[in-house]
Structure 1
Amino acid sequence: MTLQAVIFDMDGVLVDSEGFWAKAELDVFSSYGVEVTEELAAQTKYMTTKEVTEFWYERFPWENLDVVSVEQKVISKVIEYIQSEDCTMSGVQEFIKNLKTKNYKIGLATNAPLQVADAVLEKLQIRNLFDTVHSSEFELYGKPHPAVYLTSAKDLGISPEYCIAIEDSRSGLRAAKDAGMKTIVFTNNDHNIKFDIADYTLSNFQEVSLAVLE
């Protein structure tokens, strides 16, 4: 297999931002009278923002469901945290720059809205390194459905079998696998994370050699 493209997930891979989503959910949905419990919040971890809003509304209906404006409040909070907190995954910019020098195509495939992806790429100052940036908000289904990966490969003009996806969750790995891609699970040095579904494991971006891809 000649690898031609590397497609990154965003939350938990480019930035350590998953805690931001939990905080934003708690702030916004609590203000609508939702009882945000850890147990229920765990079920929303890998949903799209639209799915999360509908999830809480079904359980704690508030007056005048306006998914778009409630969702936007969550998104704005997350962007606020990304802009103000130190959340960049160590070494990730250099890793991507190295991939570019080797002429790999670079993609981003995320369940998060494009607004958040734009904020992340601006914060990391790596927007120019990406050949495509795609969000599940433009698909009928988010991950674990493969749509966001299939569209990303199409946008790159590269068949999925020549793409490898870097993910940190089972749901994301499943999406990339079902799209026909090879997968790397990024653990951020957490040795308890093990996914037999992944083809390779990447602990961090500082110590990795590009030979792992080749």
Structure 2
Amino acid sequence: MNIKTVIFDMDGVLIDSEPFWRQAQIEELSKYKVKITIDDCINYTMGRKLDDLADTWCRRFDLPISNIELQQNIMHSVISHIREQGQAKAGLYSLLNYLKKNNFNIGLATSSSVPVINAVLDHLSIRDFFTVICSADNEKYGKPHPAVYLSAMTQLKSNKEQCIIIEDSVTGMISGKAAAITTYVIPEDIADPKFSIADGIFTSLEEIEHYLINKAQPSVLANNV
């Protein structure tokens, strides 16, 4: 496989922001005496567009708040946490520098809204690494639909045979696989059987960089790479 293009998911891949999303949802719903757990967030909303996320909770609990208002409240909380506490995932800068130095096409395809994307890219000072930045907000359908990844690949003038996706969620993995693009995952739980359809399961961005440099095997290889 001649890899020339790498498309990253954002939350949980570039930045350790998944806890911020969960905290924001738990805190916001608690205002309406609704108790949800971290597992609820992982199972129902992880990797999804903000409007889908808000719609899930509004419908599930018949909340006395509009979808739009819930979106805004959660988004503002997440952005605040990113600016105050956001940290790059281990190995991010090394991998991005390696890709840039070796003339890879680098794209971002995320379910997050543009204000959240801007907060992450500016906080981590990594905007200049990305040739293409795509938000699922600009697509009719969010992940697990493949639209955002197909848009990123098209804008990068790449093709499925030369492209890989790096994801961390089941929803994102399904999106990448639906796009028929090689999809690698860095899951929180590497033993989670839901990730068995991934093309490769890695423990970190450092391991992915090592693989790209040396063609080494990842910790767990679901299929042939």
With the length of structure 1 as denominator, give the TM-score of the two structures: 0.89
Contact 1:161–1:181 (CA<8 Å) still a contact in 2? yes
In structure 2, the partner of 1:9 is: 9
Other structure's SS at 2:164 match: strand
CA offset at residue 196 of structure 1?
2.2
CA distance in structure 1 between the aligned counterparts of 2:171 and 2:56, rounded to whole angstroms: 18
Aligned position for 1:29:
29
CA displacement, residues 151-175 of structure 1 (integer Å, 9 cap, x when unaligned)? 0011111123321001112221221
How far is 1:23 from its partner? 0.7
C-alpha separation between the residues in 2 aligned to 1:39 and 1:206? 27
Please say if residues 109 and 149 of structure 2, whose CA atoms lie closer than 8 Å, have aligned partners that are also in contact.
Answer: yes
Structure 1 residue 54 corresponds to structure 2 residue 61 = no
Alpha-carbon shift at residue 213 of structure 1 (Å):
6.2
Residue range with higher mean Cα deviation, 129-138 or 43-52:
43-52
Give 1:156's aligned residue.
156
Relative to 1, partners in 2 of residues 1:213 and 1:14: Cα closer, same or farther, differing over 3 Å?
farther
Go from structure 1 to structure 2 and tell me whether the alpha carbon gap of 1:123 and 1:193 turns closer, same or farther (over 3 Å shift): farther
Q: How far 1:52 sits from its partner (Å)?
A: 1.6
Partners of 2:48 and 2:144 within 8 A in 1: no
Q: When the two structures are aligned, how many residues end up with a matched partner?
A: 212
Cα RMSD (Å) of the superposition? 2.2
- Counterpart-to-counterpart distance in 1, 2:69 and 2:177: 34
Distance (whole Å) between structure 2 residues aligned to residue 202 and residue 96 of structure 1 = 17
C-alpha distance after superposition, 1:76-127 (max 9, x if no partner) = 1001111111431012011111101111100111111121111111121110
- Report the alpha carbon displacement of residue 178 of structure 1 after superposing the two structures with TM: 1.5
Q: Which amino acid counterpart does residue 57 of structure 1 have in structure 2?
A: C
| Other-structure match for 1:44 | 45
Is 144-153 or 116-125 further displaced after alignment? 116-125
DSSP-derived class of the 1:112 partner: coil
Q: Percent identity over the alignment? A: 36
Instruction: Decide whether aligned partners of structure 1 residues 213 and 157 sit closer, same or farther in structure 2, where only a CA change above 3 A counts.
Output: farther
Name stretches of at least 5 consecutive residues in structure 1 with no aligned partner: none
| 1:180 and 2:176 matched | no
Residues 183-194 of structure 1: pairs in structure 2 closer than 5 A: 183-187=183-187, 190-193=189-192
Deviation at 1:39, TM superposition (A): 5.8
**1:25 Cα deviation after fit:** 0.8
Any stretches of 5+ residues in structure 2 without a counterpart?
A: 217-225
Q: Retained in 1: the 8 A contact 2:86–2:123?
A: no
* Greater Cα offset, 35-44 or 71-80: 35-44
SS at match of 2:205: coil
Whole-angstrom distance in 2 between the partners of 1:68 and 1:33: 19
- Return structure 1 stretches of 4+ with deviation > 4 angstroms: 37-40
Q: Distance in 1 between matches of 2:168 and 2:39?
A: 20
What is the TM-score normalised by the length of structure 2? Answer: 0.85
Q: Which residue in the other structure is 1:142 paired with?
A: 142
Q: State the shift of 1:191 in Å.
A: 4.2
Q: CA, structure 1 residues 28+191, in 2 after alignment: closer, same or farther (shift >3 Å)?
A: closer
